[in-house]
Structure 1
Amino acid sequence: MNRIRFGIRLKLLLLSLFLFTIPWLGYQYVWELESYLRTGQEQTMEGTARAVATALHERPSLFDSQSSYLQDVKPGTDLYAHKIIDPIQLDGLLDDWVDYRHLSLLYSEMQLIEQNEFYDPESFHFEHMVGQYNKYLYAMFEVVDDHLIYRPKNSLRVDRNDYLLIAVTDPQGAFRRYIVAPQQSGWVNAYLLDENPESLRPLTLETAIQGNWQETEVGYNVELRFPLEIMSSKIAFAIADVDDLQSKARKYIIGTANPNKSDSLGTVLVPSPEIEKILKGLKYSNARVWVVDKHMRVLARSGSIQDATGVRTSPAPRKRDTLWRRIEQDWLFPLYYQILTKPPAGFVDELENAYALKGQDLAKALTGDASSQWRLSPDNKAVVLSAAHPIFIDEKVMGAVVVEQTTHGIRTLRNRALEQLFHVIIAVVLLGTAALFLFASRISFRISKLRNETESAIDENGKILGNIPRSTTQDEIGDLSRTFHSVLDKLQQYNHYLENMSSRLSHELRTPVAIVKSSLENLSMEQNNGDDEQEKQQYIARAQSGIRRLSKILSNMSEATRLEQAIQYSERENFELAEILNGCTEGYGVAYPQNQFALHTHGIRKTLNGSPELFAQMLDKIIANAVEFSPKESTIILSLMEKSGHITLTIANIGPKLPDNMHEQLLNSMVSVREHQTEQETHLGLGLYIAKIIAEYHKAKIHIQNREDEKGVEVVIRL
Structure 2
Amino acid sequence: MHSFRFGIRLKLVVFSSFLFAIPWLGYQYVWELETYLRIGQEQTMVGTARAVATALHERPALFDSQSAFLSDVKPGTDLYAYKIAYPIQLDGKLDDWQDYQALMLNYGEQNLIDQVQDYDSQSLRFAHMVGQYDRYLYAMFNVIDEQVVFRPNNSLRIDRNDHLQIAMTDENGQFQRYIIAPYKDGWVNAYLLKNEIESLQPDKPETRIQGQWRKTAEGYVIELRFPLAMMSSKIAFAIVDVDDPVSRQVEYTIGTANPSQEDSLGTVLVPSPEIENILKGLQYSNARVWVVDNHRRVLARSGQIQRSSGVQSEITYSNKQSWWQYIENEWLFPLYYRILTKPPADFVDDLQNAYALKGQDISQALDGTPSTLWRISPDNKAVILSAAHPIYIDKKVMGAVVVEQTTNGIRTLRNKALEKQFHFFLAVIVLGTLALFLLASRISWRIRKLRDETEDAIDTQGKIVGQILPSKANDEIGDLSRTFNSVLVKLGQYNAYLENMASRLSHELRTPVAIVNSSLDNLSSENQSPESRQYIERAKEGIGRLSKILTNMSEATRLEQAIQNNEREIFNVVEVLRGCVLGYQQVYPQRDFVLLLDNKSTTNKVTLSGAPELFAQMLDKIIANAVDFSVDRSLISLNLQYTEKHLSLQISNQGGVLPDKMQHQLFDSMVSVRQSQVTEQAHLGLGLFIAKIIAQYHQGEISINNLKDHSGVVVSLNFIL
Superposition TM-score tier, normalisation by shorter sequence: 0.5 to 0.7
Tell me by how many angstroms 1:145 deviates: 0.6
Tell me by how many angstroms 1:348 deviates: 1.3
Counterpart of 1:33? 33
Counterpart of 2:344? 344
Tell me by how many angstroms 1:333 deviates: 2.5
Separation in 1, partners of 2:253, 2:462 = 107
2:55 partner SS: helix
Counterpart of 1:77? 77
Tell me by how many angstroms 1:49 deviates: 0.4
Q: Does the CA contact (< 8 Å) of 2:66 and 2:270 recur in 1? A: no
Counterpart of 1:403? 403
Separation in 2, partners of 1:567, 1:37 = 87
Tell me by how many angstroms 1:11 deviates: 3.6
Separation in 2, partners of 1:29, 1:237 = 61
Counterpart of 1:116? 116
Q: Which amino acid aligns with 1:392?
A: Y
Tell me by how many angstroms 1:85 deviates: 1.1
Q: Does the CA contact (< 8 Å) of 1:197 and 1:260 recur in 2? A: yes
Separation in 2, partners of 1:275, 1:290 = 10
Counterpart of 2:244? 244
Correspondence 1:382 to 2:382: yes
Separation in 1, partners of 2:462, 2:94 = 95
Q: Call closer, same or farther: CA 1:215–1:320 in 2, change over 3 Å.
A: closer
Deviations, residues 493-513 of structure 1 (Å, cap 9, x unaligned):
xxxxxxxxxxxxxxxxxxxxx
Separation in 2, partners of 1:379, 1:568 = 80
Tell me by how many angstroms 1:28 deviates: 2.1
Q: Which amino acid aligns with 2:35?
A: S
Tell me by how many angstroms 1:357 deviates: 0.9
Deviations, residues 545-570 of structure 1 (Å, cap 9, x unaligned):
xxxxxxxxxxxxxxxxxxxx99999x
Counterpart of 2:477? none
Deviations, residues 52-81 of structure 1 (Å, cap 9, x unaligned):
000000011111126211111111000000
Tell me by how many angstroms 1:167 deviates: 0.4
Q: Call closer, same or farther: CA 1:142–1:318 in 2, change over 3 Å.
A: closer
Separation in 1, partners of 2:100, 2:641 = 95
* TM-score (norm. length: structure 2): 0.60
Where does 1:4-23 land on structure 2 (aligned, <5 Å)? 11=11, 15-16=15-16, 18-23=18-23
Separation in 1, partners of 2:360, 2:307 = 24
Where does 1:428-439 land on structure 2 (aligned, <5 Å)? 428-435=428-435, 437-438=437-438
Counterpart of 1:174? 174
Counterpart of 2:307? 307
1:358 partner SS: coil
Unaligned stretches of 5+ residues in structure 2: 453-459, 464-639, 645-708, 710-721
Q: Does the CA contact (< 8 Å) of 1:66 and 1:234 recur in 2? A: no
Counterpart of 2:158? 158
Q: Does the CA contact (< 8 Å) of 1:15 and 1:436 recur in 2? A: no
Counterpart of 2:144? 144
Q: Does the CA contact (< 8 Å) of 1:107 and 1:128 recur in 2? A: yes
For the pair shown, the structure with the greater C-alpha radius of gyration is 2
Q: Which amino acid aligns with 2:238?
A: A
Q: Call closer, same or farther: CA 1:14–1:468 in 2, change over 3 Å.
A: farther
What is the count of residue pairs matched by the alignment?
A: 465
Q: Call closer, same or farther: CA 1:467–1:71 in 2, change over 3 Å.
A: farther
Tell me by how many angstroms 1:326 deviates: 3.7
Separation in 2, partners of 1:196, 1:468 = 134
Separation in 1, partners of 2:34, 2:44 = 15
Q: Which amino acid aligns with 2:128?
A: H
Unaligned stretches of 5+ residues in structure 1: 453-465, 470-564, 570-683, 685-719
Q: Does the CA contact (< 8 Å) of 2:23 and 2:421 recur in 1? A: no
1:229 partner SS: helix
Q: Call closer, same or farther: CA 1:39–1:241 in 2, change over 3 Å.
A: same
Counterpart of 2:222? 222
Tell me by how many angstroms 1:445 deviates: 8.1
1:306 partner SS: helix
Counterpart of 2:279? 279
Q: Does the CA contact (< 8 Å) of 2:107 and 2:126 recur in 1? A: yes
Deviations, residues 320-369 of structure 1 (Å, cap 9, x unaligned):
96543443343223322332222222221111121111111111000001
Q: Which amino acid aligns with 2:225?
A: R
1:258 partner SS: coil
Separation in 2, partners of 1:23, 1:130 = 58
Q: Call closer, same or farther: CA 1:15–1:135 in 2, change over 3 Å.
A: same
Where does 1:189-200 land on structure 2 (aligned, <5 Å)? 189-200=189-200
2:278 partner SS: helix
1:190 partner SS: strand
Where does 1:406-445 land on structure 2 (aligned, <5 Å)? 406-435=406-435, 437-438=437-438
Q: Which amino acid aligns with 2:75?
A: P
Q: Does the CA contact (< 8 Å) of 2:12 and 2:437 recur in 1? A: no
Separation in 2, partners of 1:28, 1:277 = 44
Deviations, residues 162-217 of structure 1 (Å, cap 9, x unaligned):
11000001122111110011110000111111222222111111111001100001
Counterpart of 2:48? 48
Q: Does the CA contact (< 8 Å) of 2:9 and 2:440 recur in 1? A: no
Tell me by how many angstroms 1:443 deviates: 11
Q: Does the CA contact (< 8 Å) of 1:319 and 1:325 recur in 2? A: no
Separation in 2, partners of 1:206, 1:79 = 23
Correspondence 1:258 to 2:258: yes
Separation in 2, partners of 1:228, 1:78 = 16
Q: Which amino acid aligns with 1:337?
A: Y
1:68 partner SS: coil
2:26 partner SS: helix
Q: Call closer, same or farther: CA 1:319–1:269 in 2, change over 3 Å.
A: closer
Q: Does the CA contact (< 8 Å) of 2:171 and 2:230 recur in 1? A: yes
Q: Call closer, same or farther: CA 1:467–1:119 in 2, change over 3 Å.
A: farther
Where does 1:552-591 land on structure 2 (aligned, <5 Å)? none
Separation in 1, partners of 2:6, 2:90 = 90
Q: Does the CA contact (< 8 Å) of 1:53 and 1:400 recur in 2? A: yes
Where does 1:308-387 land on structure 2 (aligned, <5 Å)? 308-315=308-315, 322-387=322-387
Q: Does the CA contact (< 8 Å) of 2:197 and 2:260 recur in 1? A: yes
Q: Which amino acid aligns with 1:221?
A: V
1:257 partner SS: coil
Q: Call closer, same or farther: CA 1:467–1:323 in 2, change over 3 Å.
A: farther
Deviations, residues 629-659 of structure 1 (Å, cap 9, x unaligned):
xxxxxxxxxxxxxxxxxxxxxxxxxxxxxxx
Where does 1:637-648 land on structure 2 (aligned, <5 Å)? none
Counterpart of 2:501? none
Counterpart of 2:295? 295
1:153 partner SS: coil
1:42 partner SS: helix
Tell me by how many angstroms 1:317 deviates: 9.4
Deviations, residues 127-175 of structure 1 (Å, cap 9, x unaligned):
0000001111000000011110001111111121111000001122111
Tell me by how many angstroms 1:13 deviates: 8.0
Separation in 2, partners of 1:283, 1:184 = 47
Q: Which amino acid aligns with 1:207?
A: T
Separation in 2, partners of 1:566, 1:356 = 104
Tell me by how many angstroms 1:287 deviates: 1.0
Q: Which amino acid aligns with 1:90?
A: L
Q: Does the CA contact (< 8 Å) of 1:276 and 1:301 recur in 2? A: yes
